[in-house]
């Protein structure tokens, strides 16, 4: 055994040096071909589904999509002829490093009693849950005190070490000093912070540079806090940064070729974020008619995260219940004005094990989208938000083979998307319960 091993290594080295080894290597890694037979295909592009479609996958890409026909000889066929096949889902707002925070105590405990390595291990579990629910890409919008651990989970997934969606990450997020928990502890204690505190224009630019240096794809900042209704019936808020600071964050981020997401719930926070020139508005409960016009005109994406609002409202009470109703009204107006609505759930704000993030689709349909609009909102639109329109979001020639399937027809019952039976990411099958 040993002698033959030494011999084969020697031969490989020898052949490698004259260029023959390389040819052998190529033969060994001949493209892996899989044919997926889809009973019904919602490709993310067409307005109507297509029946009986054959999708050919070579390695990690889709190489053809054709009506019916036989698979090429010798190619493995995955029979999804009784299922509805769709592009992998994309969630534009998650927190892999958080596991539910209805109360501030839920939040504090995670930062005070769990180490960052422990939280990172849970984040790998959460990434697998997301993938098995059909989410093949996600934008993770800050680690909530876990520093740059989102970059690590993103890399571990990309390197094939753990299963999970393709990720873009925002690392630490920013507020001015004292505007984000942990708060309320004795000044004698050094407690962890859920964000990076940033004060002043220079410090804002430096924080952006630092976060980008450590792997941030996005910069996230908290535009506001202290949400409250005033006599005008509008949801107002306290704006965190001065306009100069917010503009410095946005300008520096764009200068470095990255994009900015702003947490903005009250109308004042949304208005400030739009003035600063952010790329996406997160939550946006307090969108007024004028702000809806502005967000539409500027082509800024709105990521509504309805699942988390509905989930935390009963536990938090007070204004939170009213905010859910307010957001529903804003959603219906924004839909009429063609605002770019990208599906985002704030998963992590609710426990990954308790709620399937695909529930967000259900809310969008209940709030007035057609099932097809809701599907696009969770595939094509967030793909565009991520700058990955050429790679994901539809089932088309040349795209990454990120393909999911459900047993029933989601155009008749959108909750089908909460029961994904088949998941392929980059040509690799992670789940197949279709029989």
Measured CA angle at 357 (ends 429, 371), to 5 deg: 90
Can you give 24-45 as a three-state secondary structure string?
Answer: HHHHHCCCCEEEEEEEEECCCC
In the complex, least distance from residue 147 CB atom to Zn ion, rounded to whole angstroms: 17
Q: Is residue 101 part of the contact set for Zn ion (CB under 5 A)? A: no
Burial of 408 (0-12, 13-18, 19+ CB in 10 A): middle
Q: Is residue 91 part of the contact set for Zn ion (CB under 5 A)? A: no
Q: Nearer to Zn ion by C-beta: 172 or 431?
A: 172
Report the residue closest to Zn ion, judged by CB. 346
Widest CA span of the chain, in angstroms? 87
Q: Nearer to Zn ion by C-beta: 39 or 348?
A: 348
Helix (H) / strand (E) element for 307: namely helix 306-316
Q: Nearer to Zn ion by C-beta: 205 or 263?
A: 263
Q: Is residue 416 part of the contact set for Zn ion (CB under 5 A)? A: no
* Candidate ranges 221-229, 343-351, 396-404, 415-423; the one touching Zn ion (CB under 5 A): 343-351
DSSP E strands, 347-402: none
Q: How far apart are CA 271 and CA 280, in angstroms?
A: 12
Q: Nearer to Zn ion by C-beta: 307 or 379?
A: 307
Count Cβ atoms below 10 Å from residue 214 Cβ, excluding itself: 12
**Structure tokens given for 131:** 């993938």
* Candidate ranges 48-56, 99-107, 345-353, 357-365; the one touching Zn ion (CB under 5 A): 345-353
Q: Nearer to Zn ion by C-beta: 217 or 402?
A: 217
Q: Is residue 279 part of the contact set for Zn ion (CB under 5 A)? A: no
Site size toward Zn ion, by CB under 5 A: 1
In the complex, least distance from residue 38 CB atom to Zn ion, rounded to whole angstroms: 34
Phi, psi at 229, each rounded to 5°:
-85, 140
Omega prior to 414 cis, within 30 of 0? no
Q: Is residue 360 part of the contact set for Zn ion (CB under 5 A)? A: no
In the range 285-304, which residues lie near Zn ion by CB under 5 A?
Answer: none
In the complex, least distance from residue 141 CB atom to Zn ion, rounded to whole angstroms: 5
Q: Is residue 346 part of the contact set for Zn ion (CB under 5 A)? A: yes
Residues forming contacts to Zn ion in the complex (CB under 5 A) are 346
């Amino acid at each position: 055994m040993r002698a033959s091993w030494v011999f084969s290594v020697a031969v490989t080295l020898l052949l490698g040096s004259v260029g023959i080894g390389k040819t052998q290597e190529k033969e060994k890694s001949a493209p892996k071909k899989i044919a997926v037979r889809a009973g019904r295909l919602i490709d993310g592009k067409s307005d109507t589904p297509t029946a009986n479609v054959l999708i050919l996958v070579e390695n990690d890409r889709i190489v053809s999509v054709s009506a019916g026909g036989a698979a090429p000889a010798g190619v493995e066929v995955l029979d999804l002829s009784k299922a509805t096949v769709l592009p992998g889902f994309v969630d534009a707002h998650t927190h892999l490093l958080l596991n539910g925070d209805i109360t501030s105590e839920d939040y504090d405990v995670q930062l005070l009693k769990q180490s960052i390595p422990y939280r990172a291990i849970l984040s790998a579990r959460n990434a697998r849950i997301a993938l098995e629910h059909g989410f093949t890409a996600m934008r993770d919008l800050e680690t909530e005190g876990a520093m740059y651990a989102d970059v690590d989970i993103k890399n571990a997934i990309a390197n094939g070490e753990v299963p999970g969606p393709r990720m873009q990450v925002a690392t630490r997020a920013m507020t001015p000093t004292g505007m984000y928990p942990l708060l309320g502890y004795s000044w004698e204690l050094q407690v962890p912070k859920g964000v990076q505190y940033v004060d002043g224009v220079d410090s804002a630019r430096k924080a952006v540079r630092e976060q980008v240096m450590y792997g941030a794809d996005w910069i996230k900042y908290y535009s506001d806090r202290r949400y409250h209704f005033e006599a005008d019936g509008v949801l107002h808020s306290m704006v965190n940064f001065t306009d100069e600071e917010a503009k410095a964050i946005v300008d520096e981020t764009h200068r470095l070729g990255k994009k900015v997401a702003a947490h903005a719930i009250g109308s004042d926070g949304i208005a400030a974020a739009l003035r600063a020139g952010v790329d996406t508005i997160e939550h946006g409960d307090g969108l007024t008619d004028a702000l809806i016009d502005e967000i539409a005109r500027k082509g800024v994406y709105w990521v509504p995260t309805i699942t988390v609002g509905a989930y935390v409202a009963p536990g938090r009470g007070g204004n939170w219940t009213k905010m859910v109703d307010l957001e529903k009204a804003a959603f219906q107006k924004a839909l009429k004005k063609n605002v770019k609505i990208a599906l985002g759930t704030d998963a992590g704000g609710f426990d990954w094990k308790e709620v399937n993030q695909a529930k967000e689709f259900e809310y969008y349909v209940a709030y007035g989208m057609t099932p097809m609009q809701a599907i696009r909102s969770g595939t094509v639109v967030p793909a565009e938000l991520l700058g990955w329109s050429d790679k994901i979001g539809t089932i088309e020639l040349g795209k990454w083979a990120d393909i999911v399937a459900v047993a029933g027809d989601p155009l008749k019952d959108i909750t089908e998307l909460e029961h994904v039976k088949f998941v392929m990411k980059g040509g690799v099958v992670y789940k197949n319960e279709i029989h």
